[in-house]
Structure 1
């Protein structure tokens, strides 16, 4: 071994004496970002950026906290705080069985709300309260004190009252079923609206893909959402979801944002089906499970808020303003305290080994909320945007004055990302205001940069605020289209007129690309040659005689059906659900005129977080999300009108979207 080392050393020295050509440095390829101003998403409400306040927080309503909320652009504050809401009595500021800090009563809360320039959301005590107590609170708030509290929730996470096994929520009602909750919600709403008919009442729902959504308990007519919406839907004004997706590391936690589109779509489907009305969706509690006080939490917060707004959620409320240290670790070089609060509570671990920073020092997610409030302001319309690198997340917002804001999140903890930006339907001025929050940063910084290129530091949040290159006169945007007469291949869109003498262009959103389906001088258009079982999102744009185009209408989303007639039909049923898995039953029917001898049924999971666990009555296989079951010996022959049943165990770790398309021996079936 000594001889080998000597030879290697000699060779190294000899090589060092030579003059060798220098290889050119390898620059990281630029990430391409596309912003499509013709692909409009939802509009930012005046309550979008929200937080939670709890009555056990000694600093609730204090001037320093209120000023910090104001500086972060917080628009809504929720009170009196999660599960405490179901033991809290507002008249005497008590919560039997829990701790209530001094000076956290309703008036102190409202003083902080008003100082912050925000609006309140109040949770009426369902668990240990009464409709009369809630109605008296409305009277005090809006008649006696003229606080103008618009949003009122009926209880917190009432499905956690033990009915499904988990019991963390107080509920003194002998009957803890969803039907009993729904019946009482109607009584609460009636009593509260008798005092102030202008208030909006929220009803607690389970979040699709999160326990106990989809579970049907013994004696119930359906799942929590089905029963609650069927009974209470006509009496309420908005739906309440909570979301704590967890995550074992930064990448895992940030990946959960991909659940939001399906999560909100499934919630709306349940609302439409069982309430038969449009209920706006609120997300009144949200937080991450990893890096709560450090950059993963900040990246999660900004991405979650923007994505939820894009999907039409009207308020997103971070849990919590203060919460307290529970563990100590180092995350990407920064101290993390596993504290769900936006601000430091200044507390220490019980053993005294680790303490948080000084009271009210903002954690990283606070700066993310400050960034998000500057990116998306009330009245802004979010736009479709995307990046060529999956570690760069992009959101865009078109402001009412014609400015554009682009939020860029670099989820790579190690590498900077050079970015080039292009814009469809928008011509920016050359320079941009650049807001940045980096890993370990003390605040959001502001600089001047380019509208078409920027380098994103590792694990960073960046917002570009752009001006139009020149003033542009535009016709008014059309109103939101409505889809009707939807079949497997066709759909008709109808929309309110924007102005006289304009033509309308109908655009499909296909990623960041707009595909024009056609144009018309009327306010209705039928699209043909669509793909069965497919979700489409479209906008309408007005164009005047001078060729000037409007901003995009609000979007419309619809799903085409499967063929009305086919030689096969499939019925897929979730027969028993336990929150992250279920038993599925599939009935396969021969609707043709010829006997089928030997068959193979195929379908694909709609999401990446769904998997086949096991199956029976056939031979099951799964490859890259595509599932196939072939007949067993006893069910291989299907005469006309005959059926075979197969079953499976399906597993999921997010919203459980049912398969839409089934083929039998290659033939697309009718899904019943």
Structure 2
């Protein structure tokens, strides 16, 4: 974070002369079909970490660590607190409790922070000073925190948004190092990690990464060997345990901002793939700053927070930390009938505009996103497993969590500010009891209300969060879930899978999912399985379930996601290479080779964008067009492509989210071999 301061009504007339007196007048009332929500507990997602619901604290906030604030955080179920506060992290010296160039409020030192953390029952996340600090200063902090004081601070970040140090042009982050490149940062992160772990080998160290689809991700600056993430992970990856990303989606309305949570799955997946490629290992992912540009204190902020936190958790992000607990008034507007102060804080700072024309409510009054965190903590608890949930209406988002005791929670987000939604729920692999506890947080509410309901139907008020808490129809002891499956050989049509055993005497069911379509692929008594008849260039999510002799089925294993390849052999081959990237656009070359035995006359090459936010802007050496997500390049010269010949074409593309490279290219309708570079 950059340094922050302070229906229409239908009337019907009956004409007596037109209708006989003895005949009743029937007026058909047309009702909208209910939104269909399907919860599939057999399609398991990731489990909820103890740190999943987090917040940021800042040393310029005089309320940091106070009992009132700590109690509010505890009541909301906050499990993680980050310190010392965004960009202040890179000017803060913990030993002297000073931040040259910034304001430090009284009673905000590290010990006061830890007192609040402990009172709230949360865990600390500490950002060591990279910009104006040293590895020795950070190691001393670890020694004080964990050896001298016994605070047990496990998670340590090295710097905050260091890519904002001016290396790519924009500068908001302090960085006194003459060399501000990702290579310098990576080299020093390695030194920080070694020095800090020499003091306490049990800590986890995180490195700053760029968020896929957000500036300056993908940019290679002059003199660099690659993009920020490529360079940092290649050098520091072996020494760090998690990557740090931040996200502040832009937009001036609910319809602009709220759907952008769809981008999170691809963003998290791409970070993991980058770690495997450049660091040679899996690392954790932490979203240590998150907020929105619209309705920060009102219902859009709450709906965004609930949907984003749940989506990130489902994709294995171990902590998501809202920016900020307190921040201060900015500008005042009315959103969905409620006053919004454009304040990043979860709680009111009790401040007024400079001219005194508007003031926030009393200090520490919770804003709407605070209640969203409270709803999240009642929806999914540490150790619960999120499972797949889909809806038939894009304005209704659904998330579901299965608990160890067999109960199920379903959280529904109605993003329509004007109309309620009737919802019909179906369950796959789960039989709920008839009754449900229904938790609701509606527009303008000051807290969560609880009522009774049923498992199959719900009414969602406009702009609301609704959670159904369900018990199983019958309580029984289920087999243990198998461990996470692994992928061995993956081709364009097949994949070999294996998994750790669950228990003796069980049979394993293997289920695959593409989008919202979940199917059973087969079953076996062993711990490996080869699935065939897959589609090339397709991403699949796999779960394994154990079934005992009594027919009882375990919860789903943690998921495995893999992608099939392009065909290994074809009569054409394509090499896709991104040559230039400037953060929201790029240039790519495509080399097309005729690997067949006959000439290809008047060729046409097609591919489909993996996402809805990517598009073709222009191209050369072919006639380019785009329809929907499909891009077409037609031979501009009309020349035949002879056997063994290669032609190179290129285009300019743009994107407003993670720039996922296309995988499949077809020449004249034939899928080509090759892979993105």
Please tell me the TM-score bracket, short chain as reference. Answer: over 0.9
Which residue does the alignment assign to 1:9?
A: none
Which residue does the alignment assign to 2:450?
A: 446
* Structure 1 range deviating more: 539-548 or 44-53: 539-548
Q: What is the deviation of 1:310?
A: 0.6
Give the one of 622, 626, 640 matched to 1:637. Answer: 640
Q: What is the deviation of 1:102?
A: 0.7
Give the one of 176, 180, 189 matched to 1:176. Answer: 180
Q: What is the deviation of 1:593?
A: 2.0
Which residue does the alignment assign to 1:519?
A: 523
Which residue does the alignment assign to 1:131?
A: 135
Q: What is the deviation of 1:510?
A: 3.9
Q: CA RMSD in A?
A: 1.5
Give the one of 310, 313, 316 matched to 2:317. Answer: 313
Distance 2:124 2:543 in 1: 33
TM-score (norm 2): 0.96
Secondary structure of the residue aligned to 2:331 is coil
Secondary structure of the residue aligned to 1:638 is coil
Q: Does 1:91 align with 2:112?
A: no
Secondary structure of the residue aligned to 1:313 is coil
Q: Does 1:553 align with 2:557?
A: yes
On the 8 A contact 1:35/1:512 being kept in 2, the answer is no
Distance 1:468 1:116 in 2: 32
Deviations 1:26-53 (A, max 9, x none): 2332111111111100000010000000
Which residue does the alignment assign to 2:509?
A: 505
Q: Does 1:647 align with 2:647?
A: no
Distance 1:103 1:544 in 2: 58
Q: What is the deviation of 1:473?
A: 2.1
Q: What is the deviation of 1:641?
A: 2.0
Which residue does the alignment assign to 1:68?
A: 72
Structure 1 pair 119–16 and aligned structure 2 pair: CA distance change class (3 A): farther
Q: Does 1:465 align with 2:498?
A: no
Structure 1 outlier segments of 4+, above 4 Å: 12-20
Which residue does the alignment assign to 1:7?
A: none
Secondary structure of the residue aligned to 1:25 is coil
Structure 1 segment 37-76 matched on structure 2, within 5 A:
37-76=41-80
Which residue does the alignment assign to 1:393?
A: 397
Which residue does the alignment assign to 2:623?
A: 619
Which residue does the alignment assign to 2:303?
A: 299
* Structure 1 range deviating more: 342-351 or 121-130: 342-351
Q: Does 1:657 align with 2:660?
A: yes
On the 8 A contact 1:34/1:512 being kept in 2, the answer is no
Structure 1 segment 285-364 matched on structure 2, within 5 A:
285-364=289-368
Give the one of 653, 668, 672 matched to 1:669. Answer: 672
Give the one of 105, 108, 111 matched to 2:109. Answer: 105
Distance 2:511 2:237 in 1: 33
On the 8 A contact 1:36/1:513 being kept in 2, the answer is no
Which residue does the alignment assign to 1:5?
A: none
On the 8 A contact 1:384/1:511 being kept in 2, the answer is no
Which residue does the alignment assign to 1:186?
A: 190
Q: What is the deviation of 1:512?
A: 4.3
Q: What is the deviation of 1:214?
A: 0.3
Structure 1 segment 133-532 matched on structure 2, within 5 A:
133-532=137-536
On the 8 A contact 2:514/2:539 being kept in 1, the answer is no
Q: What is the deviation of 1:645?
A: 0.9
Q: What is the deviation of 1:15?
A: 7.3
Q: Does 1:571 align with 2:575?
A: yes
Deviations 1:562-621 (A, max 9, x none): 111111111111111111111111111111222223211001111110111011111001
Give the one of 588, 591, 600 matched to 2:592. Answer: 588
Structure 1 pair 453–16 and aligned structure 2 pair: CA distance change class (3 A): farther
Secondary structure of the residue aligned to 1:519 is strand
Structure 1 pair 77–367 and aligned structure 2 pair: CA distance change class (3 A): same
Distance 2:146 2:464 in 1: 43
Which residue does the alignment assign to 1:8?
A: none
Query: Tell me, which stretches of 5 or more residues in structure 1 are unaligned?
Result: 1-11
Secondary structure of the residue aligned to 1:374 is helix
TM-score (norm 1): 0.97
Query: Tell me, which stretches of 5 or more residues in structure 2 are unaligned?
Result: 1-12
